[in-house]
Chain A
Amino acid sequence: GDSVTQMEGPVTLSEEAFLTINCTYTATGYPSLFWYVQYPGEGLQLLLKATKADDKGSNKGFEATYRKETTSFHLEKGSVQVSDSAVYFCALSSLNTGNQFYFGTGTSLTVIP
């Protein structure tokens, strides 16, 4: 069945460091791919998405490119800030699996000044 595997955490970075959180997926159809973020004490919120191969989602300085050939959707940011400290979840959804979303286990990021 469809699934998402993402990089284990926790990840600790210094401010202004480069961030990559790896995400790979398995899907029978043509999924849409998402990154959700959960800031401390808040609910999950959509960070960015890509709905077809080679699309790039971007928001708040974060980017992720939908790579069909490597079945990946890695999250990147060139210069992280303390305010980026959160848990990041990769997810997929396919129309051929109804309206189910499949989430990864989450990667906790802590950015230190």
Chain B
Amino acid sequence: GAGVSQSPSNKVTEKGKDVELRCDPISGHTALYWYRQSLGQGLEFLIYFQGNSAPDKSGLPSDRFSAERTGGSVSTLTIQRTQQEDSAVYLCASSLGPSGGGAYEQYFGPGTRLTVT
């Protein structure tokens, strides 16, 4: 079956523009995660969805960042008024259920490389 897919694979945008990043999880996976990987940094947790709701938004770095998930499937991460420090690889992962404590394995997409000029 298909894995987690993300689009676009690369995005170059000008400072101040809005961008939307898309994640298509594995079919049937109820949990979905967004992470950010900046140069020289580990993966930074951004947000977690269970179904269409986001019980944990604590990782979103500012109110310029938002995310939604519809139909328990596709998720979109939106960054408004992009800044140069938003440049990073944005990773999406999905799992059959909540992964906390290792209950279910997370499957990662290939990521979207965002460059803000």
Chain A interface residues toward B at CB < 8 A: 4, 31-32, 34, 36, 42-46, 49, 51, 89, 91, 93-95, 97-106
**Contacting residue for A93 out of B35, B59, B102, CB 8 A:** B102
Count of inter-chain pairs, beta carbons less than 8 A: 72
Tally chain B residues at the interface, Cβ within 8 Å. Answer: 31
Contact in complex: A101, B45 (CB < 8 Å):
yes
Q: A residues within 8 A CB of B93?
A: 44
Contact in complex: B108, A43 (CB < 8 Å):
yes
Chain B interface residues toward A at CB < 8 A: 3-4, 31, 33, 35, 40-45, 48, 50, 55-56, 58-59, 91, 93, 98-102, 105-111
**Contacting residue for B105 out of A46, A100, A104, A106, CB 8 A:** A46
Complex: chain A residue closest to B44, CB-CB: A103
